[in-house]
Structure 1
Amino acid sequence: MVALGLVAALLIKTCLFQVFTIPSGSMENTLRIGDRVAVNKLAPLLGWEPQPGDPVVFKDPANWLPAQPDDGGLASGVVGEALSFVGLLPPRGDNYLVKRVIATGGQTVQCSGTTLRVDGRPVSEPYLHAGDDSCAGLPFGPVTVPKGDIWVEGDHRSDSADSRYHRDEPGGGAVPVADVVGPASAVVWPLNHLGWFGWSGR
């Protein structure tokens, strides 16, 4: 039965969902440190493309996230490797981040005062962490997002080293769509923070 369960988990990881752990508070309070988030890997195969407002998981494009230390617990050693292989823990060896898509290729994004604008239009951001405004003291732009890339920011804007902080690095802060694993679909752990983001299929 255990073997069948592992096979089923591997199939789900390969074709449907994969679980990632939230490493920081950059997406609070939507996502909290330690939350386990299921990412929909099937969505890109069905035509989904990142759209403004989508929370997405992506491979670290340019060492945005420091290497995470081995805590010596369940996620370490052979057990951790096995759980990672079947998708019950995040992939080993690579860093992955979760942020919210703000703009996509060809769009222009900027922030001034307390207002975020995409293509000149103010963006409503009801998901922002309490006490934060859209710019969180870091005005920028206008920046035109390259085709094939996305511009991402955290919901906890004052605690998120996102696209805004990497404008002077290769890529200009944008993230290649090719590095996006998929949309964050649900919080599956802990039980007191279960949540479903859904996917419109657009």
Structure 2
Amino acid sequence: MTRDRVRGRRRPHPVVAAAVCLVLVLLAAGVVRYFVVQPFRVPSASMEPTLLPGDVLLADRSERGRADRGDIVVFDGTGYFAPSAEDGDRYWVKRVIATGGDRVTCCDEGGQLTVNGRALAEPYLRDDMAPSEIEFDLEVPEGRMFVLGDNRSDSTDSRHLLGAPGGGMIPVDRVVGEVDRLVWPLPRAGVL
């Protein structure tokens, strides 16, 4: 008689123990992904030079449904940037330029974007890049955000959807999270 049987307990079968461990790990991963961070892969060059195609970033899920000027956010563009989730372009990563109540204009005499009449410093743009080739002057409705890619010459963003439903302004509650860390490739990994 084994020691465990003498005490009245049986050891679980190794397959059962492995299955329980696997379920617990998957549950923990799901909780982390929903409440803490969610990874995303950058699909295009629209955020260069800040983010490159193929970069893997982490979106801080504690910041979902919130956006501040200057934040880089991942948002659900279904119905705004993407006609449907089936086209594979459900999630987008862009920089928040203005939020509800802000007036954003392109461009002033110096060729810069202005937010509420003040020139916007954009050190993330390449020196040879204009802030926008598309002129606009609009007020962002409450609860919405105006977003642009850092690679203004190769980015589909709020400027391109000014005549579309929502006027190119994305509801802030569509924010999945703020991008706070780049995790791949390793040489570029770190806090943004």
Superposition TM-score tier, normalisation by shorter sequence: 0.7 to 0.9
The alpha-carbon distance between structure 1 residues 194 and 65, as it changes in their structure 2 partners (threshold 3 A), is: farther
Residue 123 of structure 2: which of 99, 123, 126 is its match? 126
Greater CA deviation, 186-195 or 157-166? 186-195
Unmatched tracts of structure 1, length 5 or more: 71-92, 198-202
Q: How far did 1:95 drift?
A: 0.9
Match of 2:173 among 156, 178, 184: 178
Could you tell me which residue of structure 1 aligns to residue 113 of structure 2? 116
> Aligned equivalents of 1:170 and 1:124: distance in 2?
29
Match status 1:32 vs 2:28: no
Between the aligned partners of 2:66 and 2:170, the Cα distance in structure 1 is 13
Report deviation, 1:184. Answer: 0.6
Contact 1:19 1:39 in 2 (8 A): yes
Question: CA 1:107/1:63 → structure 2, altered by over 3 Å: closer, same or farther?
Answer: closer
String of CA shifts for 1:89-135, please: whole Å, max 9, x gaps: xxxx6610000000000111011262100011100000113421212
The Cα shift of 1:10 comes to: 1.6
State the identity %: 42
Which structure has the highest helix share of the two?
Answer: 2
Could you list the structure 1 runs, at least 4 aligned residues long, displaced by more than 4 angstroms after superposition.
Answer: 1-4, 65-70
TM-score normalised over the length of structure 2: 0.80
Contact 1:99–1:154 (CA under 8 A) maintained in structure 2: yes
Q: State the distance in 2 between where 1:162 and 1:191 align.
A: 28
Larger radius of gyration: 2
**Alpha-carbon distance, 1:5 to partner:** 3.8
C-alpha contact 1:61 1:175 (8 A) present in aligned 2 = no
CA distance in 2, matches of 1:148, 1:69: 26
**CA shift for structure 1 position 14:** 1.8
Distance 1:21 1:173, change over 3 A: same
Which residue pairs with 2:15 in the alignment?
Answer: none
TM-score, normalised via structure 1 length: 0.76
What's 2:156 paired with? 161
Going from structure 1 to structure 2, the CA distance change for 1:66 and 1:149 (only over 3 Å counts) comes to closer
